[in-house]
A and B are shown apart, each in its own frame.
Chain A
Amino acid sequence: AQSVTQLGSHVSVSEGALVLLRCNYSSSVPPYLFWYVQYPNQGLQLLLKYTTGATLVKGINGFEAEFKKSETSFHLTKPSAHMSDAAEYFCAVSDQTGANNLFFGTGTRLTVIP
């Protein structure tokens, strides 16, 4: 079974500061890992994904994440926060068994302070 833990339900950073959102997963088989962002009253937008290959994944809007198998982590980072990054971020995991469903973390709400 798969599960995701997102440490910190709320994270606040100053504009221009580093953004670090933490995600740890549990999976009995090699995982597929995703980060989604949700703006108020909207659906989920895919930021980036890891399936196979390079462990450092670059996504949209300057975000990137690194898959670390030894730490079972997939933390999301952005070097410099922008006001428009304020949103809720969800980490999700699936596996390669063919069960095409995502297991989501509980989300991290990012606040950017001007």
Chain B
Amino acid sequence: NAGVMQNPRHLVRRRGQEARLRCSPMKGHSHVYWYRQLPEEGLKFMVYLQKENIIDESGMPKERFSAEFPKEGPSILRIQQVVRGDSAAYFCASSPSPSYEQYFGPGTRLTVT
């Protein structure tokens, strides 16, 4: 059973471009969580999604950031008009239910130049 997969592993964008980060949860997992890790910081919760629904987006910046988890395909975290402050590692986690352990992917390291 493959683990949580994220791609790309590294992404470089210029200021003003869009960044799309993908997360494929573990097989059988319908709950996806996105976290952001700034340099030398812990992970901060961004958003929690179930298939086709956003359950909790209390950690998402109000502008430029959006997330989706369609019926088919991976979850996508989208950052529009990136700025240098968006440079971070973005981790996705999945679980089969909200009360179960979250399994983390290897992360996508976004660098904005």
- A and B are interacting partners: no
Interface residues of A (CB under 8 A from B): none
Interface residues of B (CB under 8 A from A): none
